[in-house]
Structure 1
Amino acid sequence: MTNPEHLNTPLQRNSVSVYLIILVALSSCYGQLNAFTQVAQYTPSIGVVLLATFLLLSGKIKNFQKSSTQSVICGAIITLSALLGAMLSQDAQSALYALVFIFTWMAILVILQKYTMTAILRSFAYGGFVSVLIYLAMSGFKIQGALTISGNEFSTGDRATGPFTSHPNLIAHNMAIFTILAVVLAPSEKTIGKLILYGTAIFATLILLSTASRGGLVALVTALIIATTITHRKNLKHLLLIFSLLVVAGIYIALFQSEYIDRLILIMDLNSSSRGLNSGLSGRQQLWSMVFSQFFTINIPFFWGGGFRNAWLSNFISAVDNGYIVIIAETGFISLIIILARLAFVLLRSAKRVKLTPNSMDAAIVGLVSFILIESIVARYFLAIGNPASFLILFLIVAGAKGYIIEKRYPLPQNTL
């Protein structure tokens, strides 16, 4: 039977990194408000490069895991694919971004030699707390957006863009990841940690709802169901408790806050003329068709892509909301296979481990990977370095199934592998 003590295995007893918390918080300020918030998208890359440099120069990294060689090769293939596309299209900015990407990849690889994945996940979770706090404070502690709409009409203008005027889907992307981390990691924290993380989950979910991001909401709910079911499948009491709490919350809202149900129905309306199925998935189908028409051309060579943020994709199709298509367009089909394979192995290994020995780290990884695979059908943030959520997913991609645990420091029972 699963219980909180069982979840709090030695894998979970790791300190958090204040440095990573600050890094997550600062990169959450990415938006269009001014030049500073636009530059914030490079905060994660700069931050990890500085941290990796410190670890190397201080001698804290004695040797590298055997799986590091495979990770270097994968990162090099993705980068070379993007560089090839950038050079063929003579896109200097795209080539520069490819260099930023490989430096970021290598810096993450160095960090993974020092920090366990549990420490990294906890750091991002508490970074999420600070990020949510910044969002609320900069917004005057008001969550405005879809939560405040009324009537029978809903427009894109009703969606919250946050204090930094970010895209609503990007805000939802980050808040969903923070929610998954908070909900899954909270049971293994002490009382104060539980309060902090559960509070983060509540407000992050409310912020997500204010953005009216249907893809983010559906992916979040599905990922939480998967992670919770796998982790607590043998603990019927725990699952019933969660279900009962959700039913009670639903009844309370229906009786005393019914306007929120009306707003949720309005947000999720699939027959909406501007955001429903009749609009071609909010115009996505038309954009996808435009990308498909460029496969095997100089714009998108398909197998190696046209380069990160290549000019054609940025200038003519600025919102191709499908992470899989974007990866092919930027780094090629070969890179997509590499990325999906590494995440698939991480997901399968964590799912197997958490079934045998329930622990919050593997449960969180299952939730995170499930979320990004589902959300990427209607969002373009799969492979990115400018926001905390995609940045965390990149940690998992770089680590791979064999590299996300420093097994020498935290040996596992033989039957969990």
Structure 2
Amino acid sequence: MIRLFSQGMLGLAIYMGGWYVGGSIFQAVQLGAVGLFIAAGALALMAGGTRRIDLCAAEVILGSAFVFAMLVAFVRGNALSTEFGAMFLLVLASAAVLARQPWVASIDGVFRCAYIALIASVLVVQPSEYLTSVAGTVERAVGLVRFAPLGMHPNLSGLVYGGGSLLFFQHFLTTPRVHQKLFALLLSALCLSMVLAASARASLLALGLTGLIAVLLIARRGSRRARTALILSAIALLAIGVVKATAIADYLTIILDLDSPTRGVDSGATGREVIWQEGVKLVFSDAMLFFTGRGVRAAGPEVIGFPVESSYINLALEHGVVFGLLITLAFVVTAWRTFGRSFATGVMNPALFVSGLMLVFVLMQSIFNRYLVAVGNPYSLWILLLLVRLNLNPARLASASASAATPPRRPRPPLHQAVGTHAASPP
């Protein structure tokens, strides 16, 4: 019963994190979502059965970065940043506990159910706004109408629902049932339409680059069947592109706002290169700031005078260059190792493969937005859990699973099964 409550609180945390209501209640909703996530980890720990697996490198790096940022903020006299650092540390601890549960594979289903609830809420609460935006409506003196699902900023919507499209595409590849495949494909398409409606170009670019990496990996290391499916898909997309070339070009020009004077191709990435230069200049302006940063959430526009529209510059400003590089490397190395493991048996493991693509997506998207390390939205919570799960030592996980099994003489599962239990949904 406690475990069920833990899973319920996790689902509610994900769902609440997708609501960005206006006014004074916003902070309460966001803190409530974070509190529910922490409570889910605490209840899972109370229920017992948590596997005794040593801390992985990603947990050590992130945990050390948060503790160091707390100390820096405390010395600077920034109480709010100190509290943010403590909150991030508690969320990381909860993610570590949840990733060590024997029912860890069911977490994937919890996230999918929460996403389904969010998509249904959007379609019920904002049907006309969604249809108006996804159609590429342009209003005089306003420009392109960008969709904000449940009040969420369009750029953040690109991260949340772009990542959601990969989450459901993973289920499409792994589930053996036809009706579940079709439902997962439909939800993946709906998530992608949310990104289009929000005109979240950074996320669309990140999805495109992620898809390109997937194509290159499958072409190089995939099985004959995977390569054949890739070729057939490419031929089908090329045929559609040739037949509907004009309509597709017109729609993309509108939905991407390419002709806009402020967001178009001549706007210099909507002014981001100027902001990036200012951010880099600020990082190198002070030797102490270069190494220590300012503390978690202490580099906002209200503090430094301008927004930092890049996770990597933001990490340097908040955690210092050293910890910023270590955090980035934790994501990059995890993605690299996950791709290697997904082809280790000679046949692609789709669950592991798409897990690696999810990390690539958030790394690409974070070039243009500062969401690489966050706790206030559904996809950032998913990425944090995924990062921990993919870094847990498979051999130790198998050993812990075998030692806890009943009867005691039950043979240990093969290594590839152990990898599947902590990396993603089982086949």
Give the TM-score of the pair, scaled to structure 2.
0.81
Displacement of 1:266 in angstroms is 3.1
Cα 1:89–1:145 shift into 2, 3 Å: farther
For 1:390, the aligned partner's letter is: S
1:328-355 CA-to-partner distances (Å, cap 9, x unmatched) read 1112222222222222222122111222
State the distance in 2 between where 1:298 and 1:43 align: 37
Find the partner of 2:158 among 148, 158, 172. 172
Equivalent runs, 1:74-93 vs 2, <5 Å: 74-93=61-80
State the distance in 1 between where 2:209 and 2:31 align: 30
> Could you tell me whether the CA contact under 8 Å between 1:230 and 1:354 is conserved in 2?
no
Equivalent runs, 1:269-288 vs 2, <5 Å: 272-288=260-276
Cα 1:355–1:400 shift into 2, 3 Å: closer
For 1:184, the aligned partner's letter is: Q
2:111 matched to 1:124?
yes
1:109-128 CA-to-partner distances (Å, cap 9, x unmatched) read 11111157644334323332
The corresponding residue for 1:54 is 43
The corresponding residue for 2:168 is 182
The corresponding residue for 2:333 is 345
Find the partner of 1:412 among 396, 410, 415. 415
Equivalent runs, 1:88-127 vs 2, <5 Å: 88-114=75-101, 118-127=105-114
Displacement of 1:101 in angstroms is 0.5
State the identity as a percent: 21
Cα 1:334–1:378 shift into 2, 3 Å: same
1:3-41 CA-to-partner distances (Å, cap 9, x unmatched) read xxxxxxxxxxxxx95554333222111x24243344333
2:30 matched to 1:21?
no
1:240-287 CA-to-partner distances (Å, cap 9, x unmatched) read 3322443455467558xx3x6413123446564211353332121222
Displacement of 1:385 in angstroms is 0.5
State the distance in 2 between where 1:218 and 1:69 align: 31
- Secondary structure of the 2:375 match is coil
> Could you tell me whether the CA contact under 8 Å between 2:158 and 2:198 is conserved in 1?
yes
1:73-96 CA-to-partner distances (Å, cap 9, x unmatched) read 323321123113312432111111
State the distance in 2 between where 1:196 and 1:184 align: 12
Equivalent runs, 1:203-242 vs 2, <5 Å: 203-227=190-214, 230=217, 233-234=222-223, 235=225, 236-242=227-233
Cα 1:71–1:250 shift into 2, 3 Å: closer
The corresponding residue for 1:7 is none
- Secondary structure of the 1:340 match is helix
For 1:385, the aligned partner's letter is: V
> Could you tell me whether the CA contact under 8 Å between 2:373 and 2:380 is conserved in 1?
yes
> Could you tell me whether the CA contact under 8 Å between 2:299 and 2:318 is conserved in 1?
no
State the distance in 1 between where 2:191 and 2:212 align: 17
> Could you tell me whether the CA contact under 8 Å between 1:27 and 1:388 is conserved in 2?
yes
The corresponding residue for 2:381 is 391
For 1:290, the aligned partner's letter is: E
> Could you tell me whether the CA contact under 8 Å between 1:342 and 1:401 is conserved in 2?
no
Find the partner of 2:283 among 288, 291, 295. 295
State the distance in 2 between where 1:268 and 1:154 align: 17
- Secondary structure of the 1:302 match is helix
Displacement of 1:374 in angstroms is 1.0
For 1:336, the aligned partner's letter is: G
> Could you tell me whether the CA contact under 8 Å between 1:339 and 1:397 is conserved in 2?
no
> Could you tell me whether the CA contact under 8 Å between 2:138 and 2:144 is conserved in 1?
no
Find the partner of 1:243 among 212, 220, 234. 234
> Could you tell me whether the CA contact under 8 Å between 1:159 and 1:210 is conserved in 2?
yes
Displacement of 1:153 in angstroms is 8.4
Structure 1 unaligned runs (5+)?
Answer: 1-15
The corresponding residue for 2:425 is none
2:136 matched to 1:133?
no
Range moving further from structure 2, 288-297 or 379-388: 288-297
Displacement of 1:186 in angstroms is 0.9
State the distance in 2 between where 1:21 and 1:191 align: 25
State the distance in 2 between where 1:186 and 1:388 align: 20
- Structure number with the bigger relative contact order (C-alpha 8 A, sep ≥ 6) is 1
The corresponding residue for 1:371 is 361
Displacement of 1:305 in angstroms is 1.2
Displacement of 1:194 in angstroms is 1.7
> Could you tell me whether the CA contact under 8 Å between 1:327 and 1:336 is conserved in 2?
yes
Find the partner of 1:306 among 287, 290, 294. 294
Please tell me the root mean square deviation across aligned C-alpha atoms, in Å. 3.2
The corresponding residue for 2:308 is 320
Cα 1:404–1:282 shift into 2, 3 Å: farther
> Could you tell me whether the CA contact under 8 Å between 1:21 and 1:127 is conserved in 2?
yes
